[in-house]
Amino acid sequence: MLKQFTRNLLATALLAGAALAHAADPVNPAAAIKKDLQAKFPDAQSMVVTKLPYGNLYEAVADSEYVFYTDEKVSFILHGNLFDGKTQKNLTEVKMRELQKAQFDKLPLDSAIKVVKGNGKRVVAVFSDIDCPYCRRLEEEFAKITDVTIYTFMYPIDSLHPDAARKSRAVWCAPDRAKAWDELINKKAEPKNPGTCDNPVAKTVELGAKLGVRGTPALFFADGKRVPGMMPAEQLEKYLSGNGK
């Protein structure tokens, strides 16, 4: 659906303004814009339209993921970054962080391996491939920090590590998943089970793809920040404390 929506968005954005325009509703323009956009993008499951304090500009958010802009008559559709001219703040980026934070709150954490260190007050979710060398290095950095709860979503990438999915299922089926994950990724000691129990590995792969995970590790922080790739403990501390950039 997301790919189809993107195609529809690009196709619609290329149309001439006259073909897009509708008669503006002076009473409730946001509702009229929403109705028009829903008709143009039938694959979108949700559409939220908000008036911005910039000329006659409206912000539209589709499926809590796609942010674009239009005017009262939907005479154009702009898909890109919007900056405040005075503060130079990237308003699109701010909005995306809000949406990503909401996505963090909706993550199916019961499908992740949970490790609590210290008081566990800070939280981070990680999409990790058991055979990924950078994921192994990230685990070494996690060992240097405390007062954090780490949720690891096993995200085997078959094209790179064809045996990772089997190993991931075995980890999930182990009596102590956190211990099995630690021993396998750090010591390459595989769990002694066939990995045939009910497990979320396939659904986790679907979830990561939906969230746009292109490689591992991929970190999701509670404040909405998303960081692809391994980072050292010092940088992890900044992001966990809300000071990452």
Mean pLDDT by 10 residues, the chain (245 residues): 52 44 64 92 88 92 87 92 92 82 83 97 96 96 96 96 96 97 94 95 92 90 88 95 76
Place of tokens 């154009």: 76
End-to-end CA distance of the chain: 31
149, 218: one domain: yes
Q: Residue 221 domain-assigned?
A: yes
80 lies in the same domain as 169:
no
One domain for residues 230 and 114: yes
Rounded Cα gap, residues 169 and 197, in angstroms: 8
On whether both 62 and 177 belong to a single domain, the answer is: no
39, 32 contact by CB (below 8 A): no
Count of structural domains within the chain: 2
DSSP state of 109: G
- Predicted TM-score (pTM) above 0.85: no
Residue ranges making up the domain that contains 184: 109-240
| Among candidate residues 59, 90, 121, the one where a domain is terminated | 90
In this prediction, residue 18 carries a pLDDT of 38
In sequence order, what are the residues at sequence separation of 6 or more whose Cβ sits closer than 8 angstroms to the Cβ of residue 12?
20, 40, 41, 77
Question: What pLDDT does residue 16 have?
Answer: 35
Two tokens, residue 81: 């970054």
pLDDT of residue 44: 84
The answer to whether residues 238 and 185 touch, using CB atoms and an 8 Å cutoff, is: no
Same domain, 49 and 131: no
